[in-house]
Amino acid sequence: MGTAGAAAETRRQAATVLDLLARQAEQMERQIAAAERKQRALVAGDPAAIEEALREESREQERAEELERARYEAQQALARACGDRPEAVTWEFVARLLPERAAEARKLRDRVLRGIERLAALNRENGALIRQGLAWTRYSLNLLAGAGGGVYERDGRLQVPAAGRALDRSL
């Protein structure tokens, strides 16, 4: 392949990387939507909605992983074509190879970075909601099982209930 052919192939590979990055950004937006649905289900305390949201989140994560593999393979091919390492293929690298799409690459980079931040925030919030729900469940179970041994009177003395537990564990 001549120099012109090699340059055209390099540009084609760079366009493939950029196109895959755009698909990844779209996928991230679907993951964000799934995480938001999970959050609404967690707040509502709806077990069926939580289960469906978890299934959806899992499907979206699988799709994201498939796109990441494809993008990385395209990045490796582009790096080989340019005689470089895959990690050298950055947003700026692709923008230099495709100057007519440089603005698109920068907007896409910003979109991905915002998406990463939003998804990370949602995951932290959802994790906190799950931990809060688990703590409440444990607290409720301890009340039913009689953990703690009783309640306090107005004067601060411990009153131990005669029955001991609201939940009969002998069954």
User: Per-residue confidence of the chain (171 residues) as pLDDT tens digits?
Assistant: 578 888 889 999 999 999 999 999 999 999 999 999 999 999 999 999 999 999 999 999 999 999 999 999 999 999 999 999 988 999 999 999 999 999 999 999 999 999 999 999 999 999 999 999 888 888 888 777 765 555 667 777 766 655 555 555 554
Q: What is the pLDDT of residues 83-125, one digit of tens each?
A: 999 889 999 999 999 999 999 999 999 999 999 999 999 999 9
Domain assignment present for residue 167? The answer is no
Domain assignment present for residue 71? The answer is yes
Sign of CA dihedral 27, 30, 36, 42: negative
Burial of 35: CB neighbours in 10 Å, binned 0-12, 13-18, 19+:
buried
Could you tell me the residue range of the domain that residue 18 belongs to?
3-145
pTM equals 0.77
Q: How many domains does the chain have?
A: 1
